[in-house]
Amino acid sequence: MDNPNSKFQHYLSTILILLFFTAPTFAQQSFRPKALIAPVKKDPSTLQYLTQINQRTPLTPLNLVLDLGGQFLWVDCQHNYTSSTYRPARCRSAQCSLAGADSCGDCFSPPSPGCNNNTCGLTPDNTVTHTATSGELADDVVSIQSTNGFNPGRNATVSHFLFTCAPTFLLQGLAKGVTGMAGLGRTKIALPSQFSSAFSFHRKFAVCLSSSKGVVFFGDGPYVLLPNVDASRLLTFTPLLINPVSTASAFSQGDASAEYFIGVKSIRIDEKVVAVNKSLLSIDNNGVGGTKISSVNPYTVLEASIFKAVTEAFVKASAARNITRVASVAPFEVCFSSENVLGTRLGASVPTVELVLQNENVIWRIFGANSMVSVSDKVLCLGFVNGGENSRTSIVIGGYQLEDNLLQFDLATSRLGFSSLLFGSRTTCANFNFTSSV
Ligand SMILES: *[C@@H]1O[C@H](CO)[C@@H](O)[C@H](O)[C@H]1NC(C)=O
Ligand SMILES: *[C@@H]1O[C@H](CO)[C@@H](O)[C@H](O)[C@H]1NC(C)=O
Ligand SMILES: *[C@@H]1O[C@H](CO)[C@@H](O)[C@H](O)[C@H]1NC(C)=O
Ligand SMILES: *[C@@H]1O[C@H](CO)[C@@H](O)[C@H](O)[C@H]1NC(C)=O
Ligand SMILES: *[C@@H]1O[C@H](CO)[C@@H](O)[C@H](O)[C@H]1NC(C)=O
Ligand SMILES: *[C@@H]1O[C@H](CO)[C@@H](O)[C@H](O)[C@H]1NC(C)=O
């Protein structure tokens, strides 16, 4: 897990040093946008969703993997980190306390970004490879485009944006050209909370993933997609649940998960309830079970017994529609000939998968465009994969199932708004008008 040779290793010390106690000055800016936007594109080889923000002085564009449940922004500080405004977070400063970083460390290499004495650290986590290491907490300038919900506006700057430094090796497994991960999780220093507090806007954000170019909105709607569809008006709401046990690769006892969980009560295929072990659908005291939403899993992952029940029901319902099953195509187990499958506005006409939430009237429907992956001209596969037995989280709703659905996370009220497939409203997540209006 840790790289023993890394100069980024923090040597924990318990010596109380009360010098260098600096009061933080988060984002003092005269320009107060109501919302911000960042573009999101899908990397075709890794299926990761990448976003771009500008950091440092002079401003440098960073390509980052978007991690919906990630704890914070982490970037490679070991190579190519040049900035005149980099500031390590001194032990016991307000920055350390906001970040929940209790450790205090020194670094026995020449000082550089990521290697300073008397700093607190966190554990940057590559959630794609499940690798974590220690890294210095720091702040620097971050700049991102504002929006009125229709178009990009002026760039907005946060002068002291908190993030964690990581060594270059932590980038292994991430898309080419990426220098870190942008965590949108439910912590005080994840991107949504820092942007909301910097500009005093609503603690809400929305993601709209696309197989091509999607968008993340920080702040409240409108979230307007061409031709003039405000996706913030299409939302159905369900409570966000807190998993009391961290799902990160490394964490301290007592830490809750930064990921977003929802309460799936049952699963239906073409309106028929699939028999599954109900206790797997709730989160137990050890943080096991339940349903989360993930942008780092390319496809929905189901615990083995749920996978078996859902795929059997799907195959049966497909047979009833005269859809012919064919040989599996990895990583998918259940594939069909596309011969008898009609195309509709909502994608391939196949059985609808329904996730029933807090009551029978609140249903997340997964239509063909989100359930079926076209692996060739003639073959369509159900885009769900088997998570095996003893999986930590029973249902992980992955990226492919989220594409062209707008999801709004309201951190203040702890609820998720979901639009369902936007094709039904004649728009897509690729339809934000990125042409600046200024
Ligand atoms: C550092 O930047 C240079 C020039 O932009 C680039 O060629 C090089 O690949 C970068 N190194 C790393 C480790 O990102
Ligand atoms: C940290 O302090 C130690 C001991 O004083 C010193 O050897 C080391 O060079 C310092 N490291 C940095 C990065 O300043
Ligand atoms: C504003 O940000 C965008 C996107 O990050 C960038 O392309 C553009 O150059 C920036 N504009 C200014 C004036 O800095
Ligand atoms: C249901 O799942 C729980 C939690 O994994 C397990 O303890 C229990 O034995 C399962 N029940 C059945 C009937 O398989
Ligand atoms: C399926 O095919 C059978 C035999 O060709 C036919 O009788 C039936 O109507 C078809 N069902 C559907 C749903 O198309
Ligand atoms: C996108 O926004 C720009 C700037 O407001 C506008 O000129 C353009 O017509 C818009 N594009 C479409 C397709 O509406």
DSSP states of 39-57 as a string? Answer: EEEE-TTT--EEEEEEETT
Query: In a mutational test of the pocket of ligand 5, which residue from 316, 322, 323, 341 has the highest number of ligand atoms less than 8 Å from its CB?
Result: 322
Question: Would you state the CATH architecture of domain 35-229?
Answer: Beta Barrel (2.40)
Query: In a mutational test of the pocket of ligand 4, which residue from 276, 277, 280, 302 has the highest number of ligand atoms less than 8 Å from its CB?
Result: 277
Q: What is the pLDDT of residue 29?
A: 53
Q: Do the Cβ atoms of 208 and 226 come closer than 8 Å? A: no
CA of 155 to the centre of ligand 3 (A): 6
**Nearest CA among 311, 11, 66 for reference residue 192:** 66
**Nearest CA among 185, 96, 172 for reference residue 136:** 96
Q: Which amino acid is at 290?
A: G
Query: In a mutational test of the pocket of ligand 1, which residue from 79, 81, 174 has the highest number of ligand atoms less than 8 Å from its CB?
Result: 79
**Nearest CA among 154, 67, 68, 77 for reference residue 114:** 77
Q: Ligand 5, residue 320: give the atom nearest the CA.
A: 13
Four-residue CA torsion sign, 342, 333, 266, 273: positive
Task: Decide the pairing of beta strands 60-67 and 135-147.
Answer: unpaired
CB atoms within 10 A of CB 310: 22
Phi-psi category of residue 20: left, alpha or beta, with phi > 0 → left and psi -120 to 50 → alpha: left
Q: Ligand 1, residue 78: give the atom nearest the CA.
A: 13
Rounded to the nearest angstrom, the gap between the alpha carbon of residue 251 and the centroid of all alpha carbons in its chain is: 18
- Note down pLDDT in tens along the chain; length 438 residues: 344 333 333 333 222 222 233 334 444 455 899 999 999 999 999 999 999 999 999 999 999 999 999 999 999 999 999 999 999 999 999 999 999 998 899 999 999 999 999 999 999 999 999 999 999 999 999 999 999 999 999 999 999 999 999 999 999 999 999 999 999 999 999 999 999 999 999 999 999 999 999 999 999 999 999 999 999 999 999 999 999 999 999 898 889 999 999 999 999 999 999 999 999 999 999 999 999 999 999 999 999 999 999 999 999 999 999 999 999 999 999 999 999 899 999 999 999 999 999 999 999 999 999 999 999 999 999 999 999 999 999 999 999 999 999 999 999 999 999 999 999 999 999 999 999 987
Residues in the chain: 438
Which of these CATH numbers, 3.30.1510.10, 2.40.70.10, 3.40.30.10, 1.10.287.130, describes 232-431? 2.40.70.10
* Nearest-CA residue for atom 10 of ligand 3: 155
Four-residue CA torsion sign, 374, 378, 384, 385: negative
The Cα 100–Cα 188 span in angstroms is 9
**Nearest CA among 148, 116, 167, 141 for reference residue 59:** 141
Nearest ligand for residue 58 CA: 3
User: How do the domains of the chain map onto residue ranges?
Assistant: 35-229, 232-431
Q: Strands (DSSP E) along 305-362, which ranges?
A: 325-326, 335-337, 343-344, 347-348, 353-356
* Nearest-CA residue for atom 13 of ligand 1: 79
Q: What is the pLDDT of residue 7?
A: 36
Q: What is the pLDDT of residue 101?
A: 94
Q: What is the pLDDT of residue 267?
A: 98
Q: Do the Cβ atoms of 77 and 136 come closer than 8 Å? A: yes
Residues 6+ apart with CB under 8 A from 387: 301, 302, 303, 304, 307, 394, 396
Same fold yes or no, 35-229 and 232-431: yes
7 exposure class (CB count in 10 Å sphere: 0-12, 13-18, 19+): middle
